[in-house]
Chains A and B, each alone.
Chain A
Amino acid sequence: MFYPPAKNEIKQMLETMGISSTEELFSDIKQEIRSKPLRLEKGKSELEVYEFFAALASWNIAGAKNFAGGGFYDHYIPAAVDELASRSEFYTPYTPYQAECSQGTLQAIFEYQTAICRLTEMDASNASVYDGGTALAEAALMAVRITGRKKLVVSLGVNPIYIEILKTYLSNINCEVIEVPTIKFSDSAENLLKSIDGQTACVILQNPNFFGSVSDFSEVCEKAHSAGALAVGSFYPVSLGILKTPGDTGFDIATGEGQSLGNPLNFGGPYFGFMTTKRKYIRNLPGRIVGMTKDVSGRRGFVLTLQAREQHIRRSRATSNICTNENLCALRAVFYLALIGGRGLENLARNIYSRTRFFRDVLSSSGIKIENENPVFNEFVVDTVGKSSVVVYKKLLEKKFVGGIPLGGFYPQLESKLLVSVTEKTRKEDMEEYAKNLSEILKR
């Protein structure tokens, strides 16, 4: 919907320009390359468009009880988050280049940076990057820049989709990736320690890992530091309500998928990646950063700062090519964190943990084996005892369960393993019914 000027207005405008038709404005495009009229349908009315999409939306699975996570979780979003994010003063501006008329966005980002730093106990945060996967890839590139080394030690406890993104990002800069396998779905400190040496740029970890196992990586971080390498991690932000923080553990760069903080699943996006680091590495961070300052009359105000790192100034020597990030999604996260509060997030994390324990107990008492050796927070691996987890998944789908993630698609040797997760939306009855159905399927 645009504003087509009225005929007489077009005439006035053309007269002002001293030309007779709009077509003349396109005269630089030579006839030989001109396009034929686009073969697209004629424009539709608003109602037709709405009905078209409402019909498509109804074709997607809805109302199923969801046990699939894998780094993306179906959390409840307080109504006030949607309400605040739907203010057009937040969603229709752009990057706050002109600080004086963008203080709302700038201060909100500053508060986001603060909230994320408090959550992770890290020193500095940028204003967000695209998603958790690209955040981890940018963190790896940052470690390569800082250390000048090109060997990356990556735990196979990291989300396999993130490892794929990481490898894509590294494919043209000649880095060596050393993959460290997990043992019983848990990170092996011994294997990780062995893999770090004087050539290592960074060790890349995830907590809880892709399979749900929780570890204390303090020792691995220490080893990395003594080898002159950086410790890089990806974290599930909701778990940080109770779990040991990356700052406390000794990580140098902590990233993660921010979706769980007030953003809907949206079939894969938009989400946002959070990215934090220690004070000494701030100037190596990619992306926008907001800083607090004063105006000419001494009043507090906020501006984009350290822009000399960025592509629009440094071009080929920038820390990254990133320009637009995921501002609105990051704002949703700060709205969410401010609403739910510190105690609220801690309670949420405790509650999810209690639900997970219940779910484990229910499954165990139905004779289903849980595979993780380490403790788990919200997600874990169950054994489908020789049965293909794909077949099990399909049978559960018939019963209106999205029954988890069959791991064979990521790791062929894990064909009979299913990754299941819970959130605060997962009800007791659903867990009991799920356990009953799963054990019946496995017995058959």
Chain B
Amino acid sequence: MKTIFEKGRAAVSKRYFPDGGFEEKAFAEKNLLRSKPLALPELSELDVVRHYTRLSAMNFSVDKNFYPLGSCTMKYNPKILEKVALLEGFSNVHPVISILPNGAEVSRGCLEVLAGLKDALLEITGMDDATLQPLAGAHGELTGMMIVSAYHKSKGDRRKFVIVPDSSHGTNPASSVMAGYEVLTVATDEKGEMDFEEFKAKMSREVAVVMMTVPNTLGIFNRRIKEVCDLARSFGALMYYDGANLNAVMGKVRPGDIGFDIVHINIHKTFASPHGGGGPGAGPVCVKEHLAKFLPSPVVSKTASGKTFLEYPEKSIGRVAPFFGNFSVLLKGFAYILLMGGDGLEKVSETAVLNANYILSRLRKFYRLPYERRCMHECVLSAVKQKEKGVSALDIAKFLIDRGFHPPTIYFPLIVDEAMMIEPTETENKQTLDEFIDALIDAARLAESNPNIFHSFPTKTPVRRLDEVCAARNLKIVFEERNAG
């Protein structure tokens, strides 16, 4: 489709704000001014609305398609959350008033939302205090790793390493490096858990923290998780819980009870907030009491009598975001928790796990199951059998698109060849799951009978398979008339 920059110019004048009756003034200092006119589209409102409405129709989305993108938790979010976030009394509040005089009074409603969410998160994770500042899961990881660093430094202890299992998300090692650490990777054993013997061998007083995703990216809950925590503690290391998969275990087990010191939560995954085509999210970080003094400033807290106020922890690592994080995402998360209630959250986890296991048990006859055991909220299958016939996980993904399903995450985790990571979530019914499973069974059968046909998929989309190599080699990342192609 043509870009918005290729549409004809309209001689339309749109008035979105009044001139206000002010005398027109211009900068006297010409060296401070823009020298060339700003070349943005000059279109009627209809042209713009139609362009983006047409573009929107080219997307798969949760509201239209089953979207079992593993690790991303693409659940349906109730529409009331959008309505609540649009309340003018929230959306139109300037954040700076909260840190100015009388801030706690003039922004009390917002601070109550944050304090209420914080209390709920502490109960769900079994932790003692939290910051809501981090703006995404990976930002939460970075914040957590900075807290780890501040903790060890405060004890005069300069540790060098972070232990990360090889099944982790790529953000874990990347966040560790940004916080000044080197990464030690531990392999996954034949059961799909972090190899305990290798872990033991790598553990030392040089290790600052062990970062674990629980359940891990294979959808497997580590049965020796408590032993991992105990061993790390005996070396003076901290335990970090990557909460990307917390939606599997709400009400079943709490990171704080196992022995973790830090947990980050992806509000948009575990609870709710539509993923926006790639954000915004929110990544609060919860800590045990001994780490509370390092939290980013300010922290929203409540007095014993229930009054909200802002706290400035004495050894704070500083700010990681301007104010209190992505407020309206946090607001949606809190509204979701209130809708669900404690019992509802436990049911959410149970249903997510039930759905994933149902998919696993029906598909294991057709695809290789790399680790012979049940899963939690997501399952990882491998298309190695199909690959022998020339049909890759990517080909199967494109086949699914033609059947109207968003594909699972593919080629992740990296430790499984031809990985297909399927996360159905709790919001899908059995009928949808069956249709999806049947499509994948069809794909497996077609791979036997007519593998060559896969290279033509998808056929029903606005564009067919795209040349990614050419995109990277012949880089066009802004529109220019001369390379419009």
Contact = CB atoms under 8 A, between A and B. Distances in A.
Partners in one complex: yes
Contacts of A313: 170
A233 B264 CA distance: 31
A406 B100 contact: yes
3 closest A-B pairs by beta carbon, nearest first, are: A57-B89, A43-B341, A172-B180
Interface stretch (B105-113, B381-389, B442-450): B105-113
8 contacts: A53-B113, A102-B277, A133-B322, A244-B33, A265-B95, A267-B98, A323-B136, A397-B106
Contact of A49 (B84, B139, B175): B84
Contact of A26 (B319, B353, B362): B353
A131 B75 contact: no
A294 B94 contact: no
A269 B325 contact: yes
Contact of A91 (B89, B149, B277): B277
Interface string B409-443: 10010000000000001111110000000000000
Contacts of A3: 351, 426-429
A80 B45 contact: yes
Interface in B264-310: 268, 274-281, 296
B53 A84 contact: yes
B57 A104 contact: yes
B52 A335 contact: yes
A170 B402 CA distance: 47
Contacts of B92: 62, 74, 264-265
Contacts of B101: 390, 393-394, 397, 406
B276 A108 contact: no
Interface in A69-124: 70-72, 74, 76, 78, 80, 83-84, 86-105, 107-108, 110-111, 113-115, 117-119, 121, 123-124
A269 B135 contact: yes
B333 interface: no
Interface stretch (A198-206, A221-229, A300-308): A300-308
Interface stretch (A31-39, A177-185, A433-441): A31-39
B74 interface: yes
A34 to B, nearest CB: 6
Given A38-B251, A40-B345, A60-B106, A25 B340 contact: no
A327 interface: yes
Contacts of A84: 49, 52-53, 56
A114 B476 CA distance: 10
B339 A44 contact: yes
B88 A57 contact: yes
B160 to A, nearest CB: 12
Interface stretch (A149-157, A337-345, A363-371): A337-345
Given A295-B467, A297-B464, A94 B67 contact: yes
Interface string A217-245: 01000000000000000000000111111
A290 interface: yes
A267 B133 CA distance: 12
Contacts of B108: 59-60
Contacts of B65: 101
Interface string B38-72: 11111101001101110111111111110101001
A165 interface: yes
Contacts of A399: none
Interface string B383-400: 000000000000001100
A22 B407 CA distance: 26
A295 B476 contact: no
A331 to B, nearest CB: 7
B338 interface: yes
B20 A424 contact: yes
B276 A327 contact: yes
Interface string B459-475: 00111111110111011
A328 B276 contact: yes
Contact of A38 (B5, B338, B345): B345
Contacts of B220: 28
Contact of A60 (B61, B109, B142): B109
Contact of A314 (B18, B170, B183, B474): B170
Most chain B CB within 10 A, of A90, A141, A316, A409, is at A316
A38 B430 CA distance: 27
A93 B67 contact: yes
B23 to A, nearest CB: 7
Given A33-B253, A268-B95, A22 B59 contact: no
Contact of A131 (B321, B329, B348): B321
Contacts of B350: 22, 25-26
Nearest to B37: A342
B94 A107 contact: no
Contacts of B118: none
Interface residues of B, number: 202
Given A46-B78, A95-B278, A322-B138, A28 B123 contact: no
B223 A28 contact: yes
B357 interface: yes
A72 B95 contact: yes
A128 B254 CA distance: 34
Given A5-B429, A341-B43, A375 B475 contact: no
A327 B252 contact: no
B238 to A, nearest CB: 15
A9 B64 CA distance: 23
A148 interface: no
B206 interface: no
Contacts of A124: 477-478
Contact of A89 (B21, B48, B63, B112): B63
A40 B339 CA distance: 11
Interface string B91-128: 11111111111100011111011000000100110100
A52 interface: yes
Nearest to B362: A16
A189 interface: no
Given A61-B97, A87-B56, A428-B20, A292 B471 contact: yes
B436 to A, nearest CB: 14
B485 A300 contact: yes
B19 interface: yes
A442 interface: no
B87 A53 contact: yes
B20 A315 contact: no
Nearest to A78: B16
Contacts of A38: 123-124, 250-251, 342-343, 345-346
B361 A17 contact: yes
B257 interface: yes
B344 A32 contact: no
A104 B41 contact: no
Contacts of B180: 172-174
Contacts of B321: 130-131, 133-134, 165, 268-269
Contacts of B464: 100, 295-297, 299
